[in-house]
């Protein structure tokens, strides 16, 4: 069939709350705009662990396995401590990323003028900010072996991890960056630490070689990661597509979150390798985490998850007009003053998670 | 004798220009305030390489060896390419840090209200920013073995580096952080990635153990590095002393530079292990690099180097009043409108490097 399968996995902490809203939105697009999706909800975390002994139970694995796209909420928080480390690890988000080879994590950073008042950066610095950080997500120091903590002969302990990249791991994520840049402003900035790390020397060589061989129409620049962190704060509007390794991408994208107004606003997608038809398994999730301090209170910002649905409409569902429609609805709601607590000015009215979902639906 | 020995090594790029000014200031303190220093100038970089085959010639090694403190400028830039990699590496800044075990790198981040207009962060976010990042400087992924680039059986290449820390490497830098916090607001924030890396798990355990054993009067908190990068931009005034590993410190301190107004303003010191009398070899340097694009033009900001002299007065020379005197003179010059190009508003008068040195001397 032409139906596209989406697994909806709210997860833990504020994950289920925010995913409820993005799920509603996705159903609206299915019912009202004829977007051909089949939605299958599935559980993750402490609840299925208590019932089945697995945080990621077989039913959820099956739903994710058959899905073209996964709409993911969040994992972690106090529940974590009630699950033994081994069970936690067996079904962790890292294991999911790895299992489906979701190697290209795209995190768009767009400054919304309506939120300039609550942002730490000056309005003139935020002006025109619209870039995408592509973070390599299934290799690097997150997965490198050997790793561990050993006891040395003198009784001291030593912790060790391995940062590592191969030619093909670098090239495939760089390819995603160059291809994306072609649909945007045509500029890629590759970030590494080639003045110190051999992994970065190889990174820079391979990105450069791929650029020369296939993407010389795209502008390629390189920055050291320390300078990149500074430039993201100093003048974030200079970037179009930034590509970097797993750990640098983790740090830089949180740093860049402040160039968008709020972490709660940021969507993301993690893409796997293309199949013969160019289709890529995709996991959509807000950049924010499980936020245990506000979980269950119904006050979390669902816009990161809702904007992830916009990304899904554009990238997996091939409905760019619907994606734009949704993004405009979010802008309309924000311009009309809809604010959850995280983006509200002191004294302003704060919407609940559900009310923010309503505001977006009303604007559609 | 009671004279304290200082080696003055301008180095490359803008290093010699800015060090000329801080050198003048140090001579002023010696001549006019009786600070007991013996200054010995020494060369570094392409010039001694062409004469002796070494970027760090024997005379400079001798000067640094006998020195209590080193006033360092900068290394790197186009000259780099005229020196073969092996010769470059043999005398690199990393090799100097390692040779003298300069494991604790202190980078104070202080927002100057006079510079609020040219900073990317809002004035209300900059208000009260006054913290110190302590970066471990002689271990971690910068120095870990094995490292390299290998060719795999299938013809692909693989780059690898080792992140590593031992108990004593963690404890000694954490000790510096706790001791510094006691002289400040009494708070240490330790930054790691303990949800992913074993090195960070050990880091957190050892910092916590040292805290419990010897520093329970200091407040200790922990942040993941991604969150720390965000918090430094969102609300930098919350921090007092931050301590972290080599690579995280490299990234976070450049990110934090923007919370101070300009990278050109930032001083630093790298401290070695205390001897029996508690004295520590110390290398003072501005945080900025060699800035090849403006080298030789006489327009670089010397305040990072001059404020490094203030740190030297306080920490090596034990002259806290003179340190404060110098810091006040810098504040006075800035308040009177003295600006080098990097911190000038568009259209404002820009001082040369030398004129900024004059402005500080006049304010003394
Ligand atoms: C929770 C953590 C393991 C994760 C990561 O570091 O990848 C998170 O910070 C993220 O950015 O998705
Ligand atoms: C030049 C480079 C090797 C150095 C580092 O990464 O340590 C610099 O960025 C610094 O922060 O001192």
Mutate to test the pocket of ligand 1, among A12, A76, A250 (most ligand atoms within 8 A of CB): A250
Structure tokens at A71: 């709409």
> What kind and span of H or E run contains B10?
strand B4-11
Name the percent of chain A in helix, strand, coil, to the closest 5: 45, 20, 30
Mutating to test ligand 2, I would choose from B74, B79, B91, B93 the residue with most ligand atoms within 8 A of its C-beta, which is: B93
CA distances from A332 to A21, A99, A328, A335, A348 (A): 17, 38, 6, 5, 18
Per-residue pLDDT reduced to its tens digit, B91-113: 999 999 999 999 999 999 999 88
pLDDT class for B1, splitting at 50, 70, 90?
low
- A3 interface with B at CB cutoff 8 Å: no
Average pLDDT for B245-266: 92
Q: B125 with B247, same domain? A: yes
Model-level pTM?
Answer: 0.96
As a whole number of angstroms, the distance between CA A86 and CA A190 comes to 36
Residue B257 three-state SS = helix
The DSSP result for A8-67, as a single string, is EEEESTTHHHHHHHHHHHHHHHHHHH---EEEEEE--SHHHHHHHS-SS-HHHHHHHHH-
DSSP B115: G
Contact B264, B342 (CB under 8 A): yes
A227 in B contact zone (CB under 8 Å): yes
**pLDDT tens for the 364 residues of chain A, in order:** 589 999 999 999 999 999 999 999 999 999 999 999 999 999 999 999 999 999 999 999 999 999 999 999 999 877 777 899 899 888 999 999 999 999 999 999 999 888 888 899 999 999 999 999 999 999 999 999 999 999 999 999 999 999 999 999 999 999 999 999 999 999 999 999 999 999 999 999 999 999 999 999 999 999 999 999 999 999 999 999 999 999 999 999 999 998 887 889 999 999 999 999 989 999 999 999 999 999 999 999 999 999 999 999 999 999 999 999 999 999 999 999 999 999 998 888 999 999 999 999 999 9
Kindly indicate the confidence band of residue B230, based on its pLDDT and cuts at 50, 70 and 90: very high
Q: Is residue B1 part of a domain?
A: yes
Could you tell me which residues are beta bridge partners of residue B38?
B5
Helix segments in B265-319, DSSP class H: 303-315
A147 touches chain B (CB under 8 A): yes
Best CA proximity match to A193, nearest among A171, A221, A219, A226: A226
Tell me whether residue B114 is in a domain: no
> Which residue of chain A comes nearest to B289, CA vs CA?
A227
pLDDT band of residue B133 (cuts 50, 70, 90) is very high
Residues of A in contact with B247 (CB under 8 A): 193
CA–CA separation, A281 vs A177, rounded Å? 17
Instruction: Answer yes or no: are the C-beta atoms of A64 and A7 closer than 8 Å.
Output: yes
B206 near B170, Cβ under 8 Å?
A: yes
For helices A246-257 and B225-234, angle between their N-to-C axes, nearest 10 degrees: 30
Pairwise CA distance, residues A271 & B323, whole Å: 54
Give me ligand 2 centre to Cα B137, in Å: 10
Domain total for chain B?
2
Residues 69-128 of A with CB under 8 A from B: 76, 94, 120-122, 125
Tens-place pLDDT, residues B146-166: 999 999 999 999 999 999 999
Ligand 2: which atom is nearest the Cα of residue B76? Answer: 1
Q: Could you tell me if A137 and A97 are in contact, meaning their C-beta atoms sit under 8 angstroms apart?
A: yes
Q: Is B32 annotated as a binding residue?
A: no
**Per the domain annotation, does B111 fall within a domain?**
no
Q: Examine the domain organization and report whether B23 and B66 are in the same domain.
A: yes
Q: Enter the DSSP assignment of B337.
A: T
The catalytically annotated residue of A58, A217, A226, A321 is A226
* pLDDT, position B340: 96
Whether the upstream peptide bond of residue A146 has omega within 30° of 0, thus cis, is: yes
Q: Tell me how far apart the terminal alpha carbons of chain B are, to the nearest angstrom.
A: 28
- Rounded Cα gap, residues B344 and B114, in angstroms: 11
Query: From the list B76, B120, B168, which residue is nearest A234 (CB)?
Result: B120
Query: Shortest CA distance to A256 belongs to which of A270, A271, A237?
Result: A237
Q: Select from A271, A357, A280 the least CA-distant residue to A4.
A: A280
Q: Given B216, B244, B259, which residue is the final one in a domain?
A: B259
Does the pLDDT value for residue B53 go beyond 90? yes
Cα–Cα nearest to A39, from A22, A25, A27 = A27
Q: Are residues B166 and B202 in the same domain?
A: yes
Q: Provide the domain limits for residue A159.
A: 124-259
Q: Which residues contact A161 (CB under 8 A, 6 or more apart)?
A: A141, A144, A147, B162, B163, B164, B197, B198, B199
Give the tokens for residue A341: 């607590």
B340 and B327, same structural domain? yes
Q: Name the residue of B289, B304, B305 to mutate for ligand 2: max ligand atoms within 8 A of Cβ.
A: B289
Dist CA A330 CA A332 (whole Å): 5
Q: Domain for residue B115, yes or no?
A: no
H helices within chain A, ranges in order?
A: 15-33, 46-52, 58-66, 85-90, 93-99, 123-126, 167-182, 198-214, 225-234, 246-257, 303-315, 320-335, 353-363
Of A220, A243, A259, the one marking the end of a domain is A259
- A354 and A281 in a single domain? The answer is yes
- Residue B76: predicted pLDDT: 84
Is residue B110 included in any domain, yes or no? no
- Cα A154 from chain centre: 43
Task: Give the domain CATH number at B147.
Answer: 3.40.718.10
Contacts of B275 (CB under 8 A, 6+ apart): none
| CA B35 / ligand 2 centre spacing (Å) | 31
Residues whose CB falls within 8 Å of the CB of residue B5, separated by 6 or more in sequence, listed in order: B37, B38, B40, B66, B67, B68, B69
| Binary contact (A226, B250; C-beta < 8 A) | yes
Residues A280 and A269: beta-carbon distance below 8 Å: no
Ligand 1 pocket, residues with Cβ under 6 angstroms: A 250; B 195-196, 226
Query: Are both A275 and A166 inside the same structural domain?
Result: no
Q: Beta partners for B138?
A: none
Note whether B124 and B253 are same-domain residues.
yes
pLDDT in tens, B164-174: 999 999 999 99
Task: Write down the pLDDT at residue A354.
Answer: 98
- Do residues B279 and B243 both lie within one domain? no
Shared domain for A23 and A47, answered yes or no, is yes
Give the rounded distance of the alpha carbon of A19 from its chain centre: 14
- Of all atoms in ligand 2, which is nearest to the CA of residue B97? 7
Q: Is B165 left (phi over 0), alpha (psi -120 to 50) or beta?
A: beta
**Rounded CA gap, B215 and A269, in Å?**
44
- Reply yes or no on whether the pLDDT at B54 is more than 90: yes
- Establish whether A193 is a catalytic residue: yes
Q: Are residues A128 and A255 in the same domain?
A: yes
Asked if B233 lies within 8 A of A199 by C-beta distance, the reply is: no
Bridge partners, A158 (sequence order) = A150, B166
Last residue of a domain, one of B259, B286, B304: B259
Average pLDDT (B20-42) is: 97
Residues of A in Cβ contact (< 8 Å) with B200: 159
Through-space distance between the first and last CA atoms of chain A, rounded to whole angstroms? 28
The verdict on A141 and A190 lying in the same domain is yes
Residues 288-317 (A) with a CB less than 8 A from some CB of B = none
The whole-angstrom separation of Cα A223 and Cα A189 is: 7
pLDDT of residue A1: 59
- Nearest ligand to the CA of A252 is 1
Residue A264 CA to ligand 1 centre (angstroms): 15
Predicted pLDDT of residue B77: 77
Q: Among the atoms of ligand 2, which is closest to the Cα of residue A193?
A: 6
**3-state SS class at A234:** helix
Q: Would you call A251 and B234 a contact, using CB atoms and an 8 Å cutoff?
A: no
* A250 and A130 assigned to the same domain: yes
Distance B21 CA to ligand 1 centre (A): 45
Write the DSSP assignment of B159-187 as a string of letters: EEEEEEEEHHHHHHHHHHHHHHHHTTTSE
DSSP letter, residue B121:
B
**A36 interfacial to chain B (CB closer than 8 Å):** no
Q: Specify whether the CB–CB gap between A243 and A188 falls below 8 A.
A: yes
């Amino acid at each position: 069939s032409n139906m596209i399968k989406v697994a909806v996995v709210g997860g833990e902490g504020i994950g289920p709350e925010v995913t409820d809203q993005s799920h509603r939105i996705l159903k609206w697009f299915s019912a009202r705009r004829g977007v051909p999706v089949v939605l299958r909800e599935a559980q993750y975390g402490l609840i299925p662990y208590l019932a089945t002994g697995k945080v990621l139970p077989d039913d959820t694995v099956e739903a994710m396995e058959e899905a073209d796209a996964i709409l993911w909420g969040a994992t972690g928080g106090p529940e974590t401590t009630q699950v033994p480390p081994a069970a936690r690890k067996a079904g962790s988000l890292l294991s999911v990323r790895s299992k489906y080879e979701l190697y290209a994590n795209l995190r768009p950073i767009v400054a919304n003028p309506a939120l300039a008042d609550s942002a730490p950066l000056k309005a003139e610095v935020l002006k025109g900010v619209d870039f995408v950080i592509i973070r390599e997500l299934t290799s690097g120091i997150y997965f490198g072996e050997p790793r561990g903590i050993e006891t040395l002969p003198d009784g001291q302990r030593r912790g060790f991890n391995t940062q590592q990249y191969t030619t093909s791991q670098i090239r495939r994520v760089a390819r995603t960056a160059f291809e994306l840049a072609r649909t945007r402003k045509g500029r890629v900035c590759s970030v590494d630490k080639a003045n110190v790390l051999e992994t970065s020397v190889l990174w820079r060589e391979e990105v450069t070689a791929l650029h020369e061989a296939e993407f010389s129409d795209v502008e390629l620049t390189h920055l050291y990661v320390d300078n990149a962190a500074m430039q993201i704060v100093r003048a974030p509007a200079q970037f179009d597509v930034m590509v970097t390794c797993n750990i640098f991408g983790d740090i830089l994208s949180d740093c860049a979150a402040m160039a968008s107004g709020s972490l709660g606003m940021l969507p993301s997608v993690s893409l796997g390798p293309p199949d013969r038809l160019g289709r890529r398994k995709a996991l959509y999730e807000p950049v924010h985490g499980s936020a245990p301090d506000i979980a269950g209170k119904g006050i979390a910002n669902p816009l990161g998850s809702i904007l992830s649905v916009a990304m899904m409409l554009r990238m997996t569902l091939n409905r760019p007009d619907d994606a734009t429609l949704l993004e405009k609805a979010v802008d309309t709601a924000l311009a009309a003053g809809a604010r959850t607590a995280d983006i509200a000015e002191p004294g302003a009215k704060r919407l609940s998670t559900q009310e923010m979902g309503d505001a977006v639906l009303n604007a559609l």
